[in-house]
Every structure is written in structure tokens, then in C-alpha cells.
Structure 1
Amino acid sequence: MDFRSDTVTQPTQTMRQAMANAPVGDDVYGDDPTVNELETWAAERHGFESALFTTSGTQANLLGLMAHCERGDEYLCGQQAHNYKYEAGGAAVLGSIQPQPIENNPDGTLDFGKLAAAIKPDDSHFARTRLLSLENTINGKVLPLTYLAKAREFCDENKLSLHLDGARAYNAAVALDVDIKEIAKHFDSMTVCLSKGLCAPIGSILMGSKDFITKARRLRKMVGGGMRQAGILAAAGKLALTEQVTQLETDHANAKLLAIKLSELPGVHINPDFVQTNIVFAKLDAQIDIHGIAKKLSNDGIIISPGNPIRFVTHKDVSESDINFLVEKLKLYLS
């Protein structure tokens, strides 16, 4: 039982069969029919002109930022944004793009007043502010559709492009009970991770205009992301976007169940009402040795990421009985 992340999901048997039987070609030459089908289908499904299959969400975000911005440009984002905090500084190191992080509000949004104040004047002293990058979901929180509409208006007023790190955008769509296009329509570009809760083994999709994706495709080659017979992976990616979306409802329900049960444990503090998707954060009393508990749980066949707050993530390979077993063991070790 692995509660560290939804990145640990195993591909379904249907995915494995599709991968084994996928028609393939050299994708760098544009000859892989399965990749081409996925990219064409994904672009249409999400309301964009074009799409690009990439190795990871980190690569998709990097290509997106580099396709929007030139050397010496700047993008606005949240302090907790994955493409600022957890992607090894790639935009700055590889793209020479300056991040301008803004403190996230408790609900994951960014204050438009603070964003406006961070936009640089048109002056040779400053980096050129070109882009606002949002993340949805962010730390499991869903950005409201009304907020996305305001972000679009803000970017139009300030002549900025708008990018979405949509690694878990389908979790957001499921939580809001809307079609994914209701989220995607506000953005100039968007990524979707196929290998988290949607449980493909590898890959993300970057989407945008034809010119934007043409530039991103060249950049993908530059950073070593050009794959050859990648249809073996794309076949699973198509199934992730078609057959696995409904699974997210179960993941969300299991996360809520886990939050409720955790709230009943001594020394664990969590409000289950704050759990919106498949990610659960709980604060622990200072005296709790969570690292020691993690070692005991490992002996029970349970893997967690020790920390305070501690994060648990539900996914396809975590069942309700797994949650009950985890809580029983935590109750024992916390007593």
C-alpha cells in the first residue's frame, strides 16, 4: 500500500495489452501513428489547435514556459507552484526565464492585486513579464471556474499569456462535476499528466496553438525529449484519458474517508471538509515521531512520506480496506 503519491499507480491490464499491440513508427520523424492519434485527439478533446506528447509533466511545463517566453522574460506563478518549487529550476536554468513567485492564498488562488503589482514596467532594468502560470489542482485544492475566468480577464488586460499546469486537471474537473473543456477554455496552453491518477506508466500532454506547439516540439528535441517508437506509451495515454477518469471519483471519496478517520486519531489534526480531491494533509503534534512510525508502517507493507504536515494521496491502487488498515496501524503506533 503506497500512500506517497498517485504517481505510483500501476497501468491497467487493458493498457498493457494496448501497449503491446500499438502500431508504432519514429515519432521524431512524425511517423508514429499512435502518438499522432493521441495528439490529435487530445487537442480536440480539450479545445486546442495542437498537442505534444512529452515524457513527463516537468518536461511539458518546461516546454510550455520556454515556448511562451524568451531569454530574459519573466513568468508569474505561485510560491507553491510545482513548476517553480519542484522542477529543479528548469525554466531559469534551461530557459533563462525568471520566475516571479507570489504567495498562494489558503485556497490555492493568487491575489490579482499582488500579481498586478509584480508586473514589471517596460524598462530596460527589468525582466519582461510575459506569462501567468496557474496550477489546478494545487496541493489538492480546486481553483473555482469563476477564478479562472477572472485570471483570463486579468491576463487580457495586462497583455499576458495564461498557462495551466494541469497535472491533476481531471481531478479538478471531476470535483467540479464539469467537462474538462470548462477548465481548459480559459488558457492559452495547458498540460495534463497521464501518469498520476489516470495511471498511464509514462507521459504528459502539452496543448496550445499550432505555432506554440511547433515551437515546443523543437524545444522538446533540444532538451532530449524526442522519442522514437513512442506509440507504445501513447497507447496507454489515450486509455488514461478515456477509461480512467471515472476512477478519480472513487479516489476522491477514499480521500474524504481517510481524512475523517485521521481526524479521530490522537495527535492528528485535519478538517475533512477541506479535502476536495485525492490529496490529504494532516498536522501532527510535535512529539509524534513520524519517521519512526513510517519505519513501523513499512514493516506492515505500508509506504508513506513522513513529514509534518504529512501528505497522503489516494489513487487506483489504494482501496477502502487499505485505508482502514492504515488507520488501524496508525492508531496503534500513536497510542
Structure 2
Amino acid sequence: MREAMANAPVGDDVFAEDPSINALEDRVARLLGKEASLLCSSGTQSNLLGILSHCQRGEEYIVGEQYHTYKYEAGGAAVLGGVVPQTLPVEADGSLSLERLEQAVKVDDPHFPISRLIALENTHLGKVVEQDFMLQARALADKHQLQLHLDGARLFNASVATKTPLATLAEPFDSVSVCMSKGLGAPVGSLLCGDKQLIKRARRWRKMLGGGMRQAGVLAAAIDYALSHQVQRLADDHEHAQQLAGGLQKLSGIQVEAAQTNMVYVNFASEQQAKAVSTYLRERDIWVPPQRSMRLVTHLDIKAASIERILTTFAAALK
């Protein structure tokens, strides 16, 4: 990957003159079955650009209260775009209640913000959200003349886990954000995909938000390498997560939520216990968050042998 970065031809991306970025944006757009895409510095930025490109000030997006676009992105849509979030509870499978979703759509009345967008997520907490729900959400959006955005930060994981083409998973959506710096292992970057007009608006927003890049083809080259070499191996991460979950479930004193893709959730009896386990593991060069609900994520640097060491050290920590 670093060799590809060193050899990347570059230009000025603010003027759409970087050949490596142009080629990457075209490749990702075709992968997801969309007209165009835009390289962004992060998933937070690509999601924000998507929301701002769909919604005007005083309009709203309807979103799960545990989804990343609402809970973990610093309120950017509201702070920077004047876009109001209307949150809904997230179902156990990562979807939203279609009944609640329809009830949340506002009537055309000056008392209310204007409903403009539904924002969904796939995967959610490591779970692949059923495509049937996405299609029903599309039908609901069409019924009420709404747009549909997907935070697909780990859409590649969903694709590999279900053996479903990316374009099929992305098809119901007007815009999709995909992240390259998680399981695919690129150092930086997410891409926003959609039609040409939406991406044109997003490019303007990106510039306004300080995200215009110059000779950034070195980053595109890293992502291009990841797309060519790191996609199918996501299945290894999923297998390692299953092994990790299975081993942790045999230990007493914790509750473990089994993985579907590359995430395992460990729930402790108290914050104190979680911090003690985290400290014990970190002292042995295994870094986990000191949280009562601890998320463990497998990735390309975690090998099968690492899982056994993690399980052994976890067991010792709990004792």
C-alpha cells in the first residue's frame, strides 16, 4: 500500500485535476451503482456532506437515535447546516419501526420543520440490516417524497457477510457513505456516492467546510490498493470475531453478544470491573476500551493466533 502511495500520480483535486482521485471516485461510484462519488477525509465528513446536500436550513432528517449520523458526529448537521434531527428508537436488528418512521414524517404545516430525509445505517453494531427493510424504507420515502441516505461505513462487511453485491445493497438509497479506513485498512478516507447533482452540491459543501484537498492522490492510491487486495479478506475478520465471541462466552462474570460481522460486545457487571479488565489487558499490550459495554473489533492486523492470546489474557483478567 505504501509503495502504491509513493508511486501515485497526483494533481490538484480542488480543480478535479488529480488523476488518482478521479479514477478512485469513478471506481467507487461504479462499485455502488451510482453516477458519481466524492473523496472525503472521514465518514463524519461524508455523512455530513450527504445530509447538507439533501436538506436546507429548517428541514429535518429522520434518524435512529443510536445511529452514527446522529449520536457520534458532534451534531454537525444541526450546528453547521441548521438541519433538525428527528430521532427514533432503533430496533434490535438495527432497523427502525416502519410505523414509527411514517408517523415521524411531518405534515406541511409552518409549525413543523420540513421532513426531507431518512438516514439509515448498515451495518449497525456489527449487525447486517435486512435488505427487505431497506426496500420498505425506500417505498415509504417515495410515498412521502423523501430522500434516503445510508451511512454504509461498514457496507463492505455487510456485502462480504451476505455475499450480496455492493450495488444491490446501495440501490435503494439516494446517497451512500462508505468508509475505507476501517476493515479495508486505508489510512484515511470515506467516499460519498450519489447522482451527479448531489455530488456537485457535496463538493461545494466540502470546500466550504475546509475539506478541499490538493495533491491527495497518495490517499486515493492507498484506498485503491485496499479495494484491490483487502475486501474479500474481511471474511477472515468475521471468522475471528466468531472465534472471539465463542471463547468469551465460556468465561464467567461477563455477558457476550455474539458477532455477525467483525464486532463483539462484552458487557460487564460494573464500570469498575470493566476498567480493571481494560487495565490488565493494556498492561499486556492488548488495547480495549474501559467501558461497561466493551466493543471489540477484529481487523486485518488481528490474526488467528491473536485470538487465542486475547482469550487467555481475558480469562486471567477476570480471575
- 2:23 is the alignment partner of 1:37: yes
Separation in 2 of the partners of 1:236 and 1:125? 48
Residue 110 of structure 1 aligns to a residue in which SS?
coil
- Please tell me whether the aligned partners of residues 177 and 191 of structure 2 are also in contact (alpha carbons under 8 angstroms): yes
Structure 2 residue corresponding to 1:328, chosen from 298, 307, 312: 312
Structure 2 residue corresponding to 1:176, chosen from 162, 172, 177: 162
Aligned pairs (5 A) from 1:211-250: 211-250=197-236
Structure 1 residue corresponding to 2:43, chosen from 53, 57, 60: 57
For 2:281, the aligned partner's letter is L
What is the aligned partner in structure 1 of residue 71 from structure 2? 85
What is the aligned partner in structure 1 of residue 261 from structure 2? 277
Residues 1:114 and 1:287: Cα distance change in structure 2 (over 3 Å) = closer
Q: CA deviation at 1:241?
A: 2.1
How far does the alpha carbon of each residue in 1:58-113 deviate from its partner, in whole angstroms, 9 at most, with x for none? 00000000000000010011011101000000000001100011000011100011
- Please tell me whether the aligned partners of residues 25 and 39 of structure 2 are also in contact (alpha carbons under 8 angstroms): yes
Separation in 2 of the partners of 1:224 and 1:209? 23
Percentage identity across paired residues of the two chains: 47
What is the aligned partner in structure 1 of residue 111 from structure 2? 125
Residues 1:113 and 1:334: Cα distance change in structure 2 (over 3 Å) = same
For 2:297, the aligned partner's letter is V
- Please tell me whether the aligned partners of residues 267 and 288 of structure 1 are also in contact (alpha carbons under 8 angstroms): no
Two-structure CA RMSD over aligned residues (Å): 1.1
Residue 164 of structure 1 aligns to a residue in which SS?
strand
Q: CA deviation at 1:286?
A: 3.3
- Higher RCO (C-alpha under 8 Å, 6+ residues apart): 1
Residue 295 of structure 2 aligns to a residue in which SS?
strand
For 2:285, the aligned partner's letter is G
Separation in 2 of the partners of 1:249 and 1:303? 23
What is the aligned partner in structure 2 of residue 296 from structure 1? 280
Separation in 2 of the partners of 1:163 and 1:299? 42
Structure 2 residue corresponding to 1:194, chosen from 153, 176, 180: 180
Gaps of 5+ in 1: 1-14
Separation in 1 of the partners of 2:30 and 2:277? 47
Structure 2 residue corresponding to 1:107, chosen from 93, 112, 133: 93
Separation in 2 of the partners of 1:52 and 1:287? 41
Separation in 1 of the partners of 2:50 and 2:225? 24
- Please tell me whether the aligned partners of residues 102 and 114 of structure 1 are also in contact (alpha carbons under 8 angstroms): yes
| 4+ long deviations beyond 3 Å | none
- 2:107 is the alignment partner of 1:142: no
Gaps of 5+ in 2: none
What is the aligned partner in structure 1 of residue 32 from structure 2? 46
- Please tell me whether the aligned partners of residues 257 and 264 of structure 2 are also in contact (alpha carbons under 8 angstroms): no
Structure 2 residue corresponding to 1:313, chosen from 274, 277, 297: 297
- Please tell me whether the aligned partners of residues 271 and 292 of structure 2 are also in contact (alpha carbons under 8 angstroms): no
Aligned length: 319
Structure 2 residue corresponding to 1:166, chosen from 152, 163, 172: 152
What is the aligned partner in structure 2 of residue 209 from structure 1? 195
- Please tell me whether the aligned partners of residues 257 and 265 of structure 2 are also in contact (alpha carbons under 8 angstroms): no
Q: CA deviation at 1:270?
A: 2.0
- Please tell me whether the aligned partners of residues 288 and 334 of structure 1 are also in contact (alpha carbons under 8 angstroms): no
More divergent stretch after superposition (114-123 vs 216-225): 114-123
Separation in 2 of the partners of 1:328 and 1:115? 45
For 1:58, the aligned partner's letter is T
Residue 148 of structure 2 aligns to a residue in which SS?
strand
TM-score under structure 2 length normalisation:
0.98
Residue 289 of structure 1 aligns to a residue in which SS?
helix
